Amino acid sequence: MKIEGTTELMFAQAVALAQNGKMKSTIHCGGREIFILNMDNTIWLRFQSPQDFPEPFSFFANDYESPRIRVEQGKIVFVTNQNGMRRTKVCAPPKMTFVEAKAIWDKFQPGRDLSVTLQKEMAALLDDGLSHIEIGKVNGEPVKLLQRDIYNGARVEVERNASGGSLLDVDDETAEFGPIGIRTVDFNALFSFTDALTWFFQPEGKPWAFIEDNTGALSGVIGLCLYDELGAIDRPEGE
């Protein structure tokens, strides 16, 4: 089969993130769904694929090197034709299959009571050298992204100015939530795939947030951080 159009661009972006050390991940394709799961289990993305994959397959993002793919005896084969030559790369798939990835995804039932829309431009104002971001809002104040340097006490705050309106998707200045934490590298990786994301924060006891772009083609589950410790996606019982 040949990977085409926007699907190939998405794979290429996942590869770039993996090679830059920003998000090493596995990719799982089947039907018109594509799942990308990072190796830390803190990011789980689902794409509505413009291309149909009648035979499910999975591979490590860092292995991808050609849009021409086939599955042989459970292994993934990439074929590259260049200058009259052919290169064939055979790769072992991840342990998790597409069917298993989809089954876990389908068990998440996100609430949508509170949502905040964040833009790619906000990520550009953050300090990559600080490991975590806090997202929150207190009564009467705007939604803020906050980073702290625990060694020297420095703070970085990012918010929308008054002329830009509120980041909240409900007009309620008394609303309060958070602060919730996310790794800076995870936050930045998300905006490699889209320019804006709506975040749905879940009730207490669910250490994850649901995200969605404005087209509905991209959605995801993001593991949150508590007390500066790495948060992992809270998989449903039995997984």
Residue scoring higher pLDDT (195 or 226) = 195
The CATH code of the domain that includes 40 is 3.10.150
The CATH code of the domain that includes 120 is 3.10.150.10
Same domain, residue pair 87 and 124: no
Give the pLDDT confidence score for residue 231 in this predicted structure.
43
Residue 84 pLDDT exceeds 50: yes
Q: Domain span at residue 154? A: 115-223
Last residue in a domain, options 86, 106, 126: 106
Q: How many CB atoms lie within 10 A of CB 73?
A: 6
Q: Average pLDDT of 34-45?
A: 90
Q: Average pLDDT of 21-46?
A: 91
Q: What mean pLDDT, rounded, does the chain reach?
A: 85
Kindly list the distances between the CA atom of residue 141 and the CA atoms of 12, 115, 169, 179, 201, in Å, as whole numbers in the listed order: 40, 16, 15, 13, 18
